[in-house]
Structures are given as C-alpha cells and as structure tokens.
Amino acid sequence: MLAIHEMIKNNVMLKVKDLMTTELFTLKENDNLNISKFLMENKKIRHMPVINHRHEFIGLITQRDLLAMNISTLADLDEEQEADILKGIPVVEVMREEIATVTPDTDLQDAAKLMFDHKYGCLPVLDGKKLLGIITEADFVRLTWKLLQYAKERQDEQND
C-alpha cells in the first residue's frame, strides 16, 4: 500500500493493475453450479470468472445468480437434493456473457466510475481474452480504508 501512497503523493494516475486481485478462483465452462456454490460459500467470494479450455474469459457467475437459482426454497428440497440438481447444470447455462471488462492499464478512476454508474460488483481484468485478474467493490473499500488510515497517520504526525 505504501506504493499507492507514493503514487498519490507524486500525482501518478493509479491504474487497475495497482489494485486488482490476481489470485482468483475461476470456473471452467464445463463445471457445474454445485461447484460454484461450494466455492462461493466456502471461500466467501461473490464473483467467479468462467474460462474456456484455452483459459480465455467467457463469462461471469455471481452470488446473486446463484441466489436466483436457489431451488431448495422453491421446491422444498433438502441440501443434498439441491446439490444433485445443481450438479446437472453447467455454469455456461447460467453465467453472464455480456460483461464489461477493463485492462490492467485502465485508469482506476475510470473503472470506479464504470462500476458506480452501472452498479457493477466487479470488472474482470483482461489482456485480449486472457483473464489477468478482477477488480471488485471490496478492492475499492479496502483502498478507501487504507487511504483514510494513511491520512489519519499523517494527521497524527502533524499533531505531534
């Protein structure tokens, strides 16, 4: 985070690559919804990019998509029955394909505006079709918290 502080101090425009998450859980096009649900619940993530056999980005599945597919509450099924049903549904049948994306060199301000204006929870970061990372609302909240923390530390130093 110190590098971001230095960039701000030196009036360097922050880029998506300065904030994006690169350690991702992804789904393959032939994975099923049960795998997606398991990973999202156990890893506490809300957005999972879907890649094809060439490791190219082809879509996104979100926690909201899974909630919309919550079969057990509609059909009075137990968890095991729901899991069996979800195992038969490939993620490609539910994923969103028309997804706004950014590049690593997109200005961070532009990415934030795009997310805010369209109420996107994330933006996949691509180089061509290759998935490099993802930038999420949580990344911006973490940045804001750290910047506020940095500002407070600077203020405390000035008051000493």
| Helix 137-159 with 108-118: angle, nearest 10 deg | 120
Please report, rounded to a whole number, the percentage of residues in the chain having pLDDT higher than 70: 86
What's the whole-model pTM score?
0.82
Confidence band (pLDDT; 50, 70, 90) for 1?
A: very low
State yes or no: pLDDT of 111 exceeds 90.
yes
d(CA 154, CA 52): 47
Measure the CA dihedral 38/39/43/48, to 10°: -140
Q: Please check the confidence at residue 141 and state whether its pLDDT lies above 70.
A: yes
For residues 122-127, average pLDDT: 97
The string of pLDDT tens digits covering residues 31-46 is 988 889 889 999 999 9
Percent share of the chain, pLDDT over 90: 49
* Confidence at 52, pLDDT banded by 50, 70, 90: very high
For residue 58, pLDDT beyond 90: yes
Exposure of 98 by Cβ count < 10 A (0-12 exposed, 13-18 middle, 19+ buried)? exposed
Q: With cut-offs at 50, 70 and 90, classify the pLDDT of residue 146.
A: confident
Residue 67 predicted with pLDDT over 90: no
